[in-house]
Amino acid sequence: MEYHHISSEHLSMERVREIIERRLPLALSDDARQRIVRCREYLDRKMEHSDRPIYGITTGFGSLCNISIDHDSLAQLQRNLVMSHACGTGERVPSEVVRLILLLKIQSLAYGHSGVQLVTVERLVEFYNHDILPVVYQQGSLGASGDLAPLAHMSLPLLGLGEVESRGEVRPAADVLREMDWEPIELKSKEGLALLNGTQVMSAFGVWSVIRARQLSEWADCIGALSLDAFDGRIEPFCDEVHLIRPHKGQLTTARNFRRLLEGSELITREKTHVQDPYSFRCIPQVHGASKDTIDYVESVLTTEINSATDNPTVFPDEDMVVSAGNFHGQPIALAMDFLAIALAELGNISERRIYKLISGTRGLPSFLVAKPGLNSGFMIPQYTAASIVSQTKGLCMPASVDSIPSSQGQEDHVSMGSNAATKLYRVVCNTERVLAIELFNAAQAIEFRRPARTSPLLEGLVADYRRHVPFIDNDTVMYPYIAASIRFLQDETAR
């Protein structure tokens, strides 16, 4: 069986996607094991020979950092931390994101700067490999001392507390541990902090969103090209000459991709009676391209984050240092995720405008894309749905990262709200996917009214594949199953 070995090697976004999609089991590399054990042993020695208080290890947490804890109570201190911080609420974190949380937490702990026991990390690996997923809630994190509340929910099952999803059923963690013949973990000093401090929840949402955003960007080009041809659009705005004199990478890439997608189309090369297309077609390279550049930037930020140790205090065995600092602060990725939400919202925004043009009854297309409008409403209301989704998305794009509410009696007086940025971004991704699916529903309908002329071989192949799931609509019918099928098509298929 092929494993992904957790090590200090660089973890790329592409590798994360491969691990998740192929459901590769995890294993700790020998060097990761050595780093974890070495750090834990150093911390134990440090505590034996130091009379100075060490934050969160021999003291309370947050504004209680000045209260020293006696040695016999250190394990209880960490257990109490996990229990008291499990204050999440709202919707559950989706299972695909929980898997990423586990993966990223294991990766962060494996760098050997966290002071955890090897058995604790091994148990997280077992959770991942057996698809035993802690029940985590979306609301509760300020994104500054890491994702405290949601990571507490991730950690409860280690102690035999809380709930897990196993085999599609939510069950008490204690029951599942007994079935697996696993003893609950007895946390040592520092371990509760290591588990709860960190940016793995917001990072997991961010990684999921970047991976999906790249796929949606490819679909936006593919669907936009089909809409362009169905609308009898012009290819000239996509020529290299235009974009080489304003050479943003994404803009040039988009223009070239459209020429590739439309190569061999009878429709795109025929003589046009109109001089210009509306911006939603003519400016696709500029708009889609800007979103591509944003995705690249956000991927670079999140790639740095998932290859980092983000808990606190940070332990440096070689330097004989235990430093209380702020790597758990989510600001770097909070800003980036707010930016990505805006970029994806624009892919949906311009898509809805193309939908509107396709049903507008212009350029030889029938009103609302049906042969007998009036008797039939046709594709009138899918555009309403797209407009509603786009409007909601715009509201979700108010940046979470501009807000900060002090906590812990003012000790934590600036927070990132990165977890809110992450959960809003997740919703924007889903909304953008829905709008693009509705555009495909419309574009595939519209292209049929151009027959016998044909679009490019690539796009004809796309339409043929799509027609196996969604038919041409002759007369009014119940539409929502076809919108749902269109969304599944984007999830299951690969853009051309």
Task: Yes or no: say if 369 and 379 are a contact pair by the CB < 8 Å rule.
Answer: yes
Q: What are phi and psi of 162, to 5 degrees?
A: 70, -160
One-character DSSP codes across 243-266: HHTS--HHHHHHHHHHHHHTTT-H
Catalytic sites, residue numbers:
55
What kind and span of H or E run contains 466?
A: helix 457-467
Rounded CA-CA distance 61/374 in Å is 68
Distance of alpha carbon 189 from alpha carbon 57, whole angstroms: 5
Q: Is the CB of residue 268 less than 8 Å from the CB of residue 233?
A: yes
d(CA 472, CA 235): 26
| Closest to 221 in 3D by CA, of 247, 268, 254 | 254
Which DSSP string do the residues of 383-443 spell out, in sequence order?
HHHHHHHHHHHHHHTS-GGG----BGGGTB-----HHHHHHHHHHHHHHHHHHHHHHHHHH
Q: Is 133 helix (H, G, I), strand (E, B) or coil?
A: strand
